[in-house]
Each structure stands twice: as C-alpha cells, then as structure tokens.
Amino acid sequence: MTKVDPVLFEVVWHKLLDITEEMGIKYMRTSGSPVLVGAYDASTGITLPDGRLVAMGPYITTQAHVLNLIVESVLRTRSVNPGINPGDMLICNDPYLGATHQPDVATVAPVHHSGELRAWVGSSGHWLDIGGSEPGGFNMNAESVFDEGLRLPPTKIVEGGEIREDIVELIMAQIREPLAELDLRGQLVANEVGRTRLLEIADDVGPAVLDTVMRRGIDHVASGMRRRLRSLPDGVWREVQYLDHDGHRQNVRKIVCTLTKRGEELTLDFTGSDPQVNGFANCAAGGLRAAVLSGVCIALGYDLTWNDGVSECVTIKAPRRTIVTAEYPTPVSMSTISAIIVTLNLTLVVLSRMLLASPKHHEQAMASWCGTSLGVSMVGVNRDGILTVAPEASHFAAGCGARSYADGVDTGGIIINTTANIPSIEATEDAYPLLYLFRRQLTDSGGAGRFRGGVSGEVAITPYDTTEPLSTSFAGVGSVTPNAVGIAGGMPGATVRYLRFEDASAIGSDGARLVGTLADIPGPRTAGPLNSSKIEFDLRTVEYHNWQGGGGFGDPLDRDSQKVSDDVRLGLVSAEQARTTYGVVLDDGLDRDATTALRAELRRGRLARSHPFVEAYPLPKDSGEGEPPSGGESVGYWDILTIDQAADSISCTGCGYRLTRATADVRTGCVVEEVPAWKTGPIHGGDYVEASAVPIAMRLFYCPGCGRQLEVDLIVPGGIGPSSVVTRGGTGAES
Amino acid sequence: MQYVVGVDIGGTFTDVSVIDRNTGREVIAKSPTTPHDLIEGLLDGVQRAAAQFQLTLPELLAATERFSHATTQTTNVMFTWQDGAIVGLLTTRGFGDELLIMRARGRVAGLGLAERRHLRLTDKPAQIVPRDRIIELAERVDRSGKVLEDLREENVERAVERLIASGVTSFAVALLWSHQNPAHEQRVLEVIRRVAPHAHVSLSSDIAPVTGEYERTSTTVVNAFVAPTLERYLVRLEERLRANGLQVPILIFQAGGGVNDIPSVLPVSTIESGPAAGMVAVQKLAEQIGRPRVIATDVGGTTFKVGLIVDGRWSMAPETVINQYTLLSPMIDVVSIGAGGGSIAWADAGRLRIGPESAGAAPGPACYGWGGTRPTVTDADALLGYLNPARFLDGRIQLRLDLATEAMRDQVADPLFGGDVIAAAAGVRRVVDSQMGDLIRKATLERGFDPRSFLLAAYGGAGPVHAASYARSAGVRQIMVPLSATAFSAYGVVISDTVRSVQRSISPELGRDDASLAASYDEVCAQAIAALNTQGVSSESITLNRWADMRYERQLHDVRVHVSDSDEDGAAPDRSLVTGLSQAFADRYEVLFGKTARLKDANPRILRIGVDATAPSGIAAGAGTLSPDSSPDTAASAHPEPEGSRPVYWPEDSGWLATAVYDGEALRDGHVVSGPAIVEQPGTSVAIPPRARARVDSLRNLIITLDDTQGTLLSEREDTGAVALGSMK
C-alpha cells in the first residue's frame, strides 16, 4: 500500500463519507417515491474493486450490506460478457445473487481511473413496484420466484456513459407504476455523482492514495472491532426467533442462532433453523448476511464507520436451504419485513446478552426493537381519476427496545433504518383517496419491564373522495408471536393486528360518525387476513392496524412505581396492566404501601406456580468448557446476577440466592412457568391465536429465592429455546 | 435623531453597532453577555458605544431614530428548557399524538451521521407539551377545506377550562387541514379569548399555514412555548430603554432576515436569529462591492456555518430543526458542522480525529490556561504562530503556548507524529480546514452552484484565521474579510430591512389557473403590505418578492422559484404567471437534478406561494469610518508598514517563514498586503498565505486573492451541481 500519513488519510476519508451522503440526497431528490423520500428506504455505498464495503450512507443498513454481494455477482457473471468497462452501470435485484428481495433494486457502477478498476459506487432502494401479479412487489400467494415480480440478474443499464434506453423500457414494461422509473433514474444520478466525486479525489491525490485510504478505512474498523471483542466475555449464547406466517398459512417457523464468542472471534451459527418454505417469508443467504452484519454494527460497532471491516470479524455459518438461506426458486419477496428484520433483532438481542455479562459494556445492551415490519398498501382511484398505490408507512414509527437505564423510545422508528421517517397524515390524504380517523401511540404496546419498551402506534383509515372501493394488501409477520422480546426479565412488546370494520358507515355524509379510538369504531370487528392482497376496502369499511412495540428490560415488578403511575396518566400503560403486570396500585393516585404489598404477593404467586427448569436442548458439550475461570473476580450480569468464577457460582444479586455454577446456563438454576403468549399481555396475539397452527408460549424464569423475573423466553412449547453460557469474563478494557 | 443602533446578544458577547447617519461613521462595542438578565449587558454595550461618540446613554438613545435588536432569549429557552411557558395544545380528535410521534424522525432529527448510528443514545427531545396537556377536539376538515364535522364550542370551552386549571398560560391550536380552512381555529381562538382573556394563543393557520400537520403543530407549539418569555423580556426592555430616553419603537430581528416591531414579531422566528444577522451583513456588503455570489462562512468556538448569497439574495431553508423539533418559520438557509476553534483533536488508533467534542468556553482550549488539557484547533493556531499570544481577544487572555505544546504533544504528536508538535498542529489545521472546505463544496454543489464562481466572506472568531485554507480546499479563489465590522452580526442587525413574509398552500386546481393564482398572490401581498403598514411603513417603499414552492406531480421534492421581475413591476407580462413559474421551475430543477430526474410528461405543480415584502432600511456604514481618525490617509503608500514580524508556520511552503504582522486598525482604502502576512484584528487574526495578495477596498474590506496554481478537487465547469450522464436527455 502507498504510504499515507494520518493527515492525508483523514482529509480523504472525510470526503469519502461525504460522498455516500451526497449520493443519497441526489437519489432522494430525484425519486418521487414516498417510500424512498418519506421513509428513506434506500442506501448508498462505496466499495473496493472486489466489492468490500468502504462506506455507506445513513439510510437502510441492510440494503447497504448487500452491495458487496451484488458487486461480487457482477464480477463473477459479467466480467467477460458483456464486460465491465468505464462508464458502465449494472442493475440487479436477484435475491439469490445478493439482493435482499426483488423490490430492493441495486445499481452499481465501476469506477475506473487511468484505465484500471479502482472502486465501485452503488445505490439501492425500495421501488414502488417491481411488476409481477401484485402491485408493490409482494405476491402473497407465491409458491416460487416465478410468481413474484421481475427478477433482474446483473444487467448492463448504462454502457460507457450511455443509458441503455432499451433496457430501461424492458424493465418499465414489466412495471405498472410509471413513477418507478424515477427510482431507477435516481440510482443512475446517485451513482454518477458518486463516481464523479471519487474520480475527482483520485485526480487530486492519485489513485494509489485513494486505494490505500479505502483499505485502511476498512482495516481501522476491523481492528476497532477486534479490540472490542477481546474486551468482551467469552461464551455461547443461543437465541430462537419465529416467523409466524409463511405467506400461505399461519404457521410458526423458527430461526435458531448459536453465538460463540472466543477471543476476537465471533461466530453466528444458524444450524437448527427450519427448512425453507414455499411461501415468501424466507430470506436468501445475502439477506441473512445483511441482517447479521447490521445487528453487529448496531450492537458492537456503534462508534465505528459501518463497512466490511465489521464483516472481517464475523463468521456466519448456516446450512443451505433453511428459512434464512433459501435458494432458487424459493420465494423471498417478503424477506425484509420477515426473516431479515427478525434475524437483525435476534442478533441484537443475542449480542446484548453477551454485553450484559460485561460490567464495562452492559449499558450498550438493548432489548429487541419492534420485531417485524409490515407492507401495507391500498390501491384505488384518486380524485383526479388516476389509479394510485398508497403505501401506508406509519408502521415505521415503531417502538424501540428498552435500555439498561432508560425506557425504549416511543414510536421512534424501526431498527433497520438509521434515519426513521413516516409521512404526515396531510401529505398522505393529499395524494391518495384515504381519510384517516386517527393515528395514535398504542397503550400497552411497549414491553413491560423495569425499563419499558417503546410503545408502537395504531392507525384507522377509510376510503374517501373516491367512488370505487379500494383494495388493500397487507403483508407481515408477528401477529401471534410477540417477536420484540425483552431482556433480563423484560416482557415482549405488542403483536401486529389488522382489524376490519366492514360496516362502519360512510364518512362525511349526514349522520356519519367520525371516531377517534379503536373502541369507538362502530360495527362488528374481524381480524383481517394477513399476507393477503386484493382485500376489498369498501367505502363503508374502516381498516385498523397496529404494529409491534419494543421489548422491555428487567422485571416489571422492579419498575419505579412513580414511572408506572406517570405512564398511566400519559396513556402509555393502562390501569389494568399497571396492576396486573407492574403490581402498581393506583386509587386516586399512587398507593405505595398497597403497591409494595401487591408486588410481594405477585412474587409469591410466581414461585407458587413455577417448577424447576430442565433444559431439554443443552448447548453442545464442548462449548461450555473454554478456559479455566480467570482471576477469580466476580462480575455482574447487569445488576441482577453475580457471576463469581472463583466460587464457581451465579447468584441472584438481589437476594444472594446461589442459582447455579459459573459456567452453566442461569436458567437451569431458576424456577420456570410456561404461559401461552397471548395471556401475557393485552396485545400479545389474542386476535390470531385461534388461527395459528402452532401455539406460542412465554417461559418466565424466576429466582427461587426472591421471585424476581430473571429471563423471559419466547418458545414453541416443547421446542428449543434460548440458552447462555459465559466461559470467561471480559476485562472490559479495550486495548 | 441621527443614530441607528443594532444590538446582537450572543452566547458570550453582546455586540453593539451604532451608525451616525449624518457622517456614516460606525462604532462597535462589545460587552459580556449577562445570562441572568440580558438587559444589563445590552445597556452596558450601548453605553460603551455611546461613549465613543462622547455621549451618555440617554443622549444617544434620545437621538436614536431606529433601534433594532437580535436576542438569544428564545434560543436559550429552546436549548436550556428554562423559562418556557406552560403550553396546552388543542388539536383534532384522533391526532393528539402526532406532536409526540414526531413522524418518528424526532429521535434523530438534526443529528449527524455518527450520532444517528449510536442507536442506543438516541432519544426524542424533552416534550414541550406532555400528553396530559394535549386535548383533542371533535371536528374534521378535509384536504380541500370542506368541513366534515362541525366544531362544538361547548367542547372547546371545557377543554380550555381544563387546560387553564392545569396551569396552562399559552395555548397552541393546531387542527388538521386548518391551513385550508382556518374557521375552526378562529372559533377556538374566540373561545380562548372569552374564557381566558390573558392567555397567549398561537394558531397554526397563522404561524405556518402549510401542509404537514406535524411540522405545523411543532412550529406552533414552539411559538407558544417561547412567546410569553419573549414578550416579558421585550416589555421590560422597552421600559428600560424608554426610561433612558429612547423615543422610537424597538425593532426585533428575525431569523428570516428582517426586523419587525414588537406587536408584529413572530416569536418562533427569533430563534437562532444570530446566524441570519451575519447573512444580512454579508448580503449588504456583497451588494456594495458588486459581487452577486458570496459564500458566507462563520467559524465560532464550536460550529462552522455556511450560507450562500446568490443573485444578491440569500435563500430560505425549507425547514429548520432546533433541538430536534422541526420548524417551518422563515429562516435563512445556513448549514453547519460541529467544527470550530474549540474542537478537540485526538488520536484514535492511528487516526487523527477532530471533534465532535469541543472544549467550549469551559475549560476552553489548553492555551487559555483555564484548565483545559486537551488540544484544540485554537491551540494548533497558536502553536503555528497565527495568533498573537499577547493580543488575543484584545489582550484579555494571555495565551499559554507551553500548555498548548504539552497538550498537543501528549495527545496527538506522540501517538501519531513521532513527537513532532508542529507537524501535529499543522495536521490538525489541515484536517479541520479540509472538513470545512468539504462543507462549503457540499453546500454549493448540492444547491446547483460551483464554488469557484463565488467570493468567500469570512467572519467569526476563527474564520479569518482559517479562511485561506478552507477556501482553497473548496476551490474558492477570493476571500473577503470585513475589517469594518468585527461585531458582524450586530452590523447585520443595524442595517437590516423591515421584512414581512406571508405564505399559503395552493390546491392543484388553483395552481393551474392563472387568474385564481394571481388573486392568491394579490391576497398574500395585501396581507404582507398591511402588516408593514401597521408598523408605519408606507406602501410605496415596499418591494415585493413573490415566490412559489413547486414540484413535479407525484414527486416529493420542492424547489423554490421567484416570480420574475418583469412581472413584478406591473409591466404586462408576455406570458402567464403559471407558465412563467413553470419555466423557472423547470430550469432550476434541471440545474439541481439533471434533465432526466423526472417523468417525461410530468407536470409541475405549485404547492405553496408566498411573498417577502421588504421595506429597505437604507442604512449602511460609510467608508473608512471605524474610528474618528479614519479619513482616508492620502499620504500613505499603497504598501503600509507592518507593525512587526514573527515566525508563522505555512505548511504549503514547508515551514516557518518570517511573516509581516499588520494592525488591522491602521489599514486604509487602497492598501495592499502581500502574503505571507498576518493582519491582527481585535477579535481575530487574518492569515494571508504566501503568494496571496490582499487589498483594502473603500469599505475597509480586506479582499484576499489566492494564487491560482493550487490544485483543487474540481474540474472546470460552471453551475453543474447536477452531474448528468452524457445521454440522459
């Protein structure tokens, strides 16, 4: 590598980071898509000639993490024919070649300087439509990729600076929404800006310096990540998550991840995950990689530049043809809002459990954010007589995960999006034949805990200013499974509901009833079909949906009772839940004595109902061995457990009860009760439980000494669940 | 009545500028800001200015014909959460949470990329109105302004009584679609006036009558939050100034770039008005020296700010984020990054990082000797000889080079530069200057302009010290440092025009019809003129600048265009209003985004229109009037004598050069200074690098021309911010 002093490095590196943001701004401004501009569902990036990511823009992290694979696919398949030449750009949305799912289309441009390939720039974004039988790119009925939208293997769309208008037309001929052409052209503009700026730098400092800076930028991140890993505890952690709809049926499929951390090595092994299904909830290997790397960046790389320096420290293992490594021609078009976001949150949670075992790092831990996402759109004719597809994106205002010292942010955004943004009601009503009855924060949707998960939201909508019924399509998972799990004894956030009121009477006519809450919507209520399309949205119908809240942190009975009282006053928690879940008595204000008594009673009740836990799926034998207990110092697992290597014990910090050996799963020292998930909260899947083919339960682990809730796991009864073994305490110091 | 007075209260200093209109002479005074009672520092500053005219405070005020003022009172409320009003919000049933949801982006609004990526540390800002002071009213208006459900006054009464009972003193009213039909908000206003006659009321249809309920509500709520505080302050200020002899009304400077009298001022518009005052000063100077394009750069202790003057005018920000709240009130477009004199340099595993941490005023840079132990940009400047240790801030601080050396050596030089303190300091300067240059490039190129076609104005404590270097990095060749206005924002305040802006949203139907559109323009113009008339401005002196925010149908990005002048002066336009605007929009859009960034048959749509009605102040400082002995010194040669010389480190010329040092006070019209040179000013130093030449113009601006041989990162091209593909037609 060419020698570059720290000053020159910093000067050039800053310019590189600026480029990714400038590309994004150009892209957003060009596109008219509300998904892109209103919700920033896009990404931009710069890679090395071989595809390794150097820098990404501040948008959807998972889309940026696939640019590496897209470039690799382009190099593998197009180097000879048609060749990769200066001024070219290639477009690709093939999920088996790196793309997350078909609507997320990526365009990459080689950057040649003095005749040599020096870098790539790329942009990716969620298009309004990608063709196929359903508007918006989700075919709920798909059984194979052939039932889904247009699939583009790497295709040359710009050749030597000239746009291939034949290719543009070929693509647009498959797509019903003409506005998608702007999504396409926006990517070309963004890439051209990125390429021009990179070439300016190469002209100025020379291509060799540019190359060194890009590589060192990756190395710097890798070494920072290794230092951090060395300072963290060693051990094995297993986490299990679920997709409760495969596109056809309300089935429950599991994603199993075993995290092994030893020294500066981090391995995430997805062996044990269910086989791929013939519905669209799977993701392909590229999606899995994007989800895991995004989770690692968020949990461990929060102060580093996000690039492939992170991926150098992470090994991802997964058998082929599982629900997270689906292969051609298995459909994957819903992956971003099912397998990918679920895996990302799973990664965050499993890493948070590792962070909690390190006193120096435990404040970085977070419970799961809103566990899933939705794809909701309403098709109809607007007042100008134009057929419109209204993407309903309010669900991006989701509940964030609670922290070890603070509640999760209410309606703060979904985790895959660095810059969350939802459209305003007025902008949406202005463009589409819709009238909103309400958009609110949803009471009781934040996972209960000593620190509460952020609440999510709810909306109710009816057709307006149109003569024809609309048709709704509603894609998503997480209606019966509260995926947004809590941590260290916290409860999960709310599940997804899609409710329909088919006889709610027309709005705006005489005697019409406008209402402001779910309880006030008139007429009979039915649970809407998830992952369905062409659901008639009649003029008399009101549609309601809510999305998942964030997970809680710690035992809800440990929550400051004043905070519970405040939450009730502000409508974030119901008085009912304050009493039953938080044990707080509110009669004309907070009754502290009665609260103390009720909480003691609830703890006694827990112990009375529970029994010792026996792990039916112990972690592999060798994983628990590791090095001998080091130093003999005792470390905390947050402030609830004390891990004493010398005494070979884990004990409850609150009451001193010795739970188990230092290198055993703390669950094995707890007593446990198993409760159907829908009974653990007012919005924990009750509306869909009857339709679900598989029951979902929560395992609540208590300290036998004091009844404190130490862990809460989401499981299929009799199935495999989370497990943790710490083999060596981390020093905490990063050196 | 011969004096005009401008006062700008900043975080550290209260700056006063007074111009004697008979002679054109300007005097400047600085006084420490007094946070416990801003009026003390203000009076002290004005008194110091009066003394320079050999006047007492009452004598000056009695002879003052115009008193304009920019205050940080409201900014302080927003950043400290102290002294704000207890606000209650009345909104449409079903949407009481919109303010709290903040379109989800409130969690990260206004944060830098690094901050956004540390998800755990992101939170929404403190709530101005907690949920239990938000009351939803049963009522509904649709997008065209049609009433779907009537407002019932008894509901309003109950709500107002409940809020009053919970201590509310200031009401914000923000109903859905009220900008399309304000009738319901007006009726709520009547009820509040009846039930709570002393309460403050802010209506969203008055304050931000545009589509987007969150932004409209947020702007209205912030207005309600700061309004009573500002009002109390202004009442006291007016009393004190009147008691001291002032006979004219006080004019308040707003972030949109103009002043209004106290009854007309929009409180939310006074937030962050300081940077706008600097832009006004730059705009005026640009006009005087005949340069239509200027990049204004202000380097303070913690931030670097950039604004643009194009075609002789500034542009307005489409929205502003203050403490994570989005505001739609008119505000001059100024962008910033967290880099300034106080930014801390540190070694990060082999990397040289600057900021984002700042030493601020406490403990300050290491060289201040106030206990700071981490090296800052100012320490680097001192070590390299750019600052005079004995004369820093008028000698108020004796810079400690030993402490700067120690900090730089321990934390940057040893880990990164083999112990070479000077190489480290030069590195710090280069990195920070390059980052500033990147912001300049981004701010100009993103708006469709090439920085090479601009003059760069540098002010603020550290601006002139770094300008040559960051200008060069951005490809700018000429720099202007105003020698006559060290209290530059106060100068902007004293000369500022009286401006009233009125805007409104336009429905698609209306925007297609020339007659209706013209009628709408007439209405907003009439409103703006009436608002100025009530402030005693005569209609003849008002100039109207009409604009429209437009976009292509079904696209989401807005572009502001102005109604062309030929239409404005009453001459019969040879094309319709709609056609003219559409053409202007299409042209501007193409400059910004390129030719292909739209559907082939897309039609432009007018989203909102507005007018900026301006009554020019006609005030400017005359030439060479800074001090009493400032008449042009005809005897002096073009090359003034330096005051002395000291070694300064110029990295481009591989090291230390004996550098002439000039006293800025002594420089006169026509003087030429060749680099390398340092011009010392009361608040700053101007660095003139080798091969650059600086000339003093008749307004006592130092115009520095850099050599053209330096490499830049730009290819030669004019106004092609949008990089278009060859065939994207």
Residue of chain A nearest B124, judged by CA positions: A409
Q: Which residues in chain B are contacts of A403 at CB distance < 8 A?
A: 120
Say whether residue B722 is in contact with chain A using an 8 A CB cutoff: yes
CA distance linking residue A452 with residue A448, whole number of Å: 5
Say whether residue B36 is in contact with chain A using an 8 A CB cutoff: no
Say whether residue B567 is in contact with chain A using an 8 A CB cutoff: no
Do A245 and A281 form a contact (C-beta atoms < 8 A)? Answer: yes
Given an 8 Å threshold on Cβ–Cβ distance, is B597 in contact with A298? no
At B375-404, the pLDDT tens digits run 999 999 999 999 999 888 777 789 999 999
Residue A180 has a pLDDT of 87
Residue of chain A nearest B442, judged by CA positions: A22
Locus of tokens 């006047």: B55
A 595-614: CB under 8 A from B? none
Confidence of residue B728 (pLDDT cuts 50, 70, 90): very low
Q: Which of A303, A366, A429 sits opposite B143 (nearest CB)?
A: A429
**How far is A616 from chain B, CA to nearest CA, in Å?**
35
Q: Under DSSP, is residue A65 helix (H, G, I), strand (E, B) or coil?
A: helix
At A437-460, the pLDDT tens digits run 999 999 999 999 999 999 999 999
- What number is the average pLDDT over the span B665-692? 90
- What number is the average pLDDT over the span B230-237? 96
Q: Which residues in chain A are contacts of B100 at CB distance < 8 A?
A: 410-411, 441
- What number is the average pLDDT over the span B639-661? 90
Do A231 and A147 form a contact (C-beta atoms < 8 A)? Answer: no
Confidence of residue A467 (pLDDT cuts 50, 70, 90): confident
Q: Which of A1-5, A554-558, B106-110, B206-210 is most confident?
A: A554-558
CA distance linking residue B645 with residue B640, whole number of Å: 14
CA distance linking residue A317 with residue A711, whole number of Å: 27
**How far is B611 from chain A, CA to nearest CA, in Å?**
23
Residue B122 has a pLDDT of 95
Q: pLDDT averaged over chain A?
A: 92
At A214-226, the pLDDT tens digits run 999 999 999 999 9
Q: Which residues in chain B are contacts of A400 at CB distance < 8 A?
A: 107, 119
CB-hemisphere CA count at 13 Å for A332? 34
CA distances to A94, A487, A603, A709 from A609, in Å: 51, 22, 10, 13
CA distance linking residue B301 with residue B299, whole number of Å: 7
Cβ partners under 8 Å of residue B599, min gap 6: A178, A179, A181, A182, B552, B554
Given an 8 Å threshold on Cβ–Cβ distance, is A10 in contact with B93? no
Q: What backbone phi and psi angles, to 5 degrees, belong to B211? A: -65, 140
Do A102 and A134 form a contact (C-beta atoms < 8 A)? Answer: no
Look up the ipTM and state it. Answer: 0.95
Q: pLDDT averaged over chain B?
A: 88
Given an 8 Å threshold on Cβ–Cβ distance, is A9 in contact with B351? yes
- What number is the average pLDDT over the span A298-313? 94
Confidence of residue A386 (pLDDT cuts 50, 70, 90): confident
Residue B263's identity, in one-letter code, is: P
User: Whose CA is closest to B463, among B538, B381, B539?
Assistant: B381
A 561-580: CB under 8 A from B? 569-572
DSSP-assigned states of every residue in A666-692: GGGGSEEEEEEGGGSSTTSSTTTTTT-
Do B650 and B689 form a contact (C-beta atoms < 8 A)? Answer: yes
Say whether residue A734 is in contact with chain B using an 8 A CB cutoff: no
Say whether residue B101 is in contact with chain A using an 8 A CB cutoff: yes
At A52-69, the pLDDT tens digits run 999 998 777 888 889 999
DSSP-assigned states of every residue in A389-422: EEE--GGGSPPPPPBSSSPPPTT---TTBSS---
At B703-714, the pLDDT tens digits run 999 974 443 333
A576-614 as b/e, with b when 16 or more CB fall inside 10 Å? ebbbbbbbbbbeeebbeeebeebbeebbeebbeebeebe
Percent of chain A with pLDDT over 90: 78
CB atoms within 10 A of CB B315: 16
Q: Which of A11, A33, A421 sits opposite B103 (nearest CB)?
A: A421
Given an 8 Å threshold on Cβ–Cβ distance, is B142 in contact with A34? no
CA distance linking residue A730 with residue B4, whole number of Å: 67
Given an 8 Å threshold on Cβ–Cβ distance, is A413 in contact with B723? no
Residue of chain A nearest B602, judged by CA positions: A179
Do A1 and A207 form a contact (C-beta atoms < 8 A)? Answer: no
Mutation test of the interface with chain A: which of B90, B91, B95, B97, choosing the one with the most A Cβ atoms within 10 A? B97
Tokens of A336: 């971003």
Q: Which residues in chain A are contacts of B132 at CB distance < 8 A?
A: 569-570
Q: Which residues in chain B are contacts of A220 at CB distance < 8 A?
A: 349-351
Locus of tokens 């009628």: B519
Q: Which residues in chain A are contacts of B714 at CB distance < 8 A?
A: 200
At B596-611, the pLDDT tens digits run 667 777 789 999 999 9
Residue of chain A nearest B721, judged by CA positions: A193
CA distance linking residue B226 with residue B397, whole number of Å: 36
Say whether residue B615 is in contact with chain A using an 8 A CB cutoff: no
Given an 8 Å threshold on Cβ–Cβ distance, is A413 in contact with B445? no
CA distance linking residue A40 with residue A28, whole number of Å: 8
Strands A42-47 and A265-269, by their bridges, are: unpaired
Residue A510 has a pLDDT of 47
DSSP-assigned states of every residue in A546-584: E---PPPBS-GGGS-HHHHHHHHHTTSS-HHHHHHTT--
Strands A253-262 and A265-269, by their bridges, are: antiparallel
Q: What backbone phi and psi angles, to 5 degrees, belong to B99? A: -65, -35
Say whether residue B515 is in contact with chain A using an 8 A CB cutoff: no
- What number is the average pLDDT over the span B511-538? 92
The residues pairing with A326 across neighbouring beta strands, listed in sequence order, are A284
Residue A32 has a pLDDT of 66
Longest dimension (CA), chain A: 79
Higher pLDDT, A625 or A636: A636
- What number is the average pLDDT over the span B115-130? 94
**How far is B561 from chain A, CA to nearest CA, in Å?**
16
A35-49 as b/e, with b when 16 or more CB fall inside 10 Å? bbbbbbbbbbbbbbb
Sign of CA dihedral A400, A403, A407, A409: negative
- The separation between CA A553 and the C-alpha centre of its own chain, rounded to angstroms, equals 18
CA distance linking residue B37 with residue B237, whole number of Å: 10
Does A621 score more than 60 pLDDT? no
Q: What backbone phi and psi angles, to 5 degrees, belong to A156? A: -75, 115
- What number is the average pLDDT over the span B489-496? 93
CA distance linking residue A672 with residue A610, whole number of Å: 5
CA distance linking residue B123 with residue A66, whole number of Å: 28
CA distance linking residue A293 with residue B414, whole number of Å: 35
Does A568 score more than 80 pLDDT? yes
User: Whose CA is closest to B188, among B151, B225, B220?
Assistant: B151
DSSP-assigned states of every residue in B126-147: PPSS-GGGEEEES-EE-TTS-E
- What number is the average pLDDT over the span B193-208? 96
Do B423 and B345 form a contact (C-beta atoms < 8 A)? Answer: no
Q: Which residues in chain B are contacts of A397 at CB distance < 8 A?
A: 101, 103-104
**How far is B621 from chain A, CA to nearest CA, in Å?**
40
Residue B233 has a pLDDT of 95
Does A234 score more than 90 pLDDT? yes
Residue B70's identity, in one-letter code, is: A
A 39-68: CB under 8 A from B? 58
Confidence of residue B133 (pLDDT cuts 50, 70, 90): very high
Given an 8 Å threshold on Cβ–Cβ distance, is B124 in contact with A410? yes
Residue B597 has a pLDDT of 67
Residue A255 has a pLDDT of 98
- Chains A–B, number of C-beta pairs less than 8 Å apart: 257
Locus of tokens 């207005």: B223
Q: Where does residue A574 rank: exposed (0-12), middle (13-18), buried (19+ CB within 10 A)?
A: middle
User: Whose CA is closest to A455, among A344, A520, A552, A364?
Assistant: A552
Residue B712 has a pLDDT of 38
Say whether residue A558 is in contact with chain B using an 8 A CB cutoff: no
Q: Which residues in chain A are contacts of B592 at CB distance < 8 A?
A: 29
CA distance linking residue A376 with residue B213, whole number of Å: 22
Strands B13-20 and B26-32, by their bridges, are: antiparallel
CB atoms within 10 A of CB A625: 10
Do B669 and B658 form a contact (C-beta atoms < 8 A)? Answer: no
At B244-275, the pLDDT tens digits run 999 999 999 999 999 999 999 999 999 999 88
CB atoms within 10 A of CB B167: 9
CA distance linking residue A364 with residue B210, whole number of Å: 41
Cβ partners under 8 Å of residue B512, min gap 6: B578
CA distance linking residue B22 with residue B28, whole number of Å: 17
Residue A108's identity, in one-letter code, is: V
Length of chain B: 729
Given an 8 Å threshold on Cβ–Cβ distance, is A227 in contact with B349? yes
Confidence of residue B356 (pLDDT cuts 50, 70, 90): confident
